[in-house]
Amino acid sequence: MQLDSPNYSIVMKKGSEETFLQGVKACIPTLLAYLSIGFACGIVQKTAGLSIAEIILLTLFVYSGSAQFIVASMYLISTPLAVITTIFFVNIRHLLLSAALSPYFQHLSPFRNMLIGAVLTDETFGVAIQKSAEKNNISEKWMHGLNITAYVNWLIANLAGAYFAKWITNPDALGLEFALPAVFIGLLAISISVRKTVRIDILVSIIATIMIIVCSWWLSGSLSIIIATILAATIGMVMTKWK
């Protein structure tokens, strides 16, 4: 994506703006991940001692799988300040996700931008970036359809998990944690096919894998992934620019 100036904004012809319903349809491929991970999250939260009301409030106002799992794991052993601080650093990546999409919504007011960014997730960001690669624009209505569908589905999944928690004592045995990586692998494959830079993308993937293996000899797995991602993405950007 190239922006001609700092004041760049997406201008669409009248009648070309995609609808809310089209955004809903675009969210369908990610629903399985939300259902499975949200179901497991509801079980874990309920098992940790949270009430249905507390789970609903967390789902509506925190709306983050990683944050809600953190709350469940730290609920009885940590202070509120420690929980909030941990959640802040875990979810600070959403500032970067929102920043990446912000050029498409510069023509909107700050409040309307906030409505989009407040319910943006890793999965909806992935779908939106794929859309931007295809058409170089993102409709506000389409984005709301995408985000709200994911939001409602996440709430339903959490409530279902909380309700069935008394019958499921070991959610890990269901293998639900594999649904999320599977969705991102699918989104990645679609994104590569749309970008039509298969050679560069495969090469960057190989570089990232090698970097993770090398870094893991001296660093933790999580830090190795972060370093490999940054370095491989930088290499990929340079290769794309100079191809």
Average pLDDT, the chain: 81
| pLDDT tops 80 at residue 134 | no
pLDDT, tens only, 178-194: 655 666 676 677 666 66
| pLDDT band with cut points at 50, 70 and 90 for residue 2 | very low
CA distance 208 to 232: 5
pLDDT value of residue 146: 95
pLDDT value at residue 194: 61
Please check the confidence at residue 120 and state whether its pLDDT lies above 90.
Answer: yes
Domain ranges of the chain: 20-195, 197-243
To the question of pTM greater than 0.75 for the whole model, the response is: no
What does the pLDDT look like over 152-211, one tens digit per residue?
A: 999 999 999 999 888 876 666 666 666 556 666 766 776 666 666 778 888 888 888 898
Could you tell me the sign of the dihedral formed by the alpha carbons of 59, 189, 96, 11, in that order? Answer: negative
- Find out whether 135 and 7 touch, Cβ atoms under 8 Å: no
| pLDDT for position 162 | 92
